[in-house]
Amino acid sequence: PHRRVWKLSTRTQNDRGEQLYQARYELVDNDNDDTNNDKKDGWYRVRIPFDSFKLVRGPRQVPDGPALNVSGGIYQIGLTMSKFDM
């Protein structure tokens, strides 16, 4: 797990294509850290701003990809532990 990266993935359309939006986040096991993580009762609360999401295709970021637009809603959300960093 230490060589892996946690990512949150989302889709805004009802399709199963390879392109989706991902944002990387870290879980730090420290009650006094300065990240966007809170840990209470053994559970983490992770805050990931929408502007942190990048368009990816497979394991690669799409250069100059459009920003995530959630004005039409979110279709899917997923958590991933990946060996590919963004």
- What pLDDT digit, counting tens, does each position of 19-71 carry? 899 999 887 765 555 555 666 677 778 889 999 999 999 889 999 999 999 99
The pTM score is 0.77
Q: What per-residue confidence (pLDDT) applies to 18?
A: 85
Q: With CA atoms as reference, report the closest residue to 55 among 25, 6, 13, 11.
A: 11
Residue whose structure tokens are 């993935």: 9
Please say whether the beta carbons of 8 and 77 come within 8 A: yes
CA 67 to CA 74: how far, in whole Å? 14
Please say whether the beta carbons of 80 and 11 come within 8 A: no
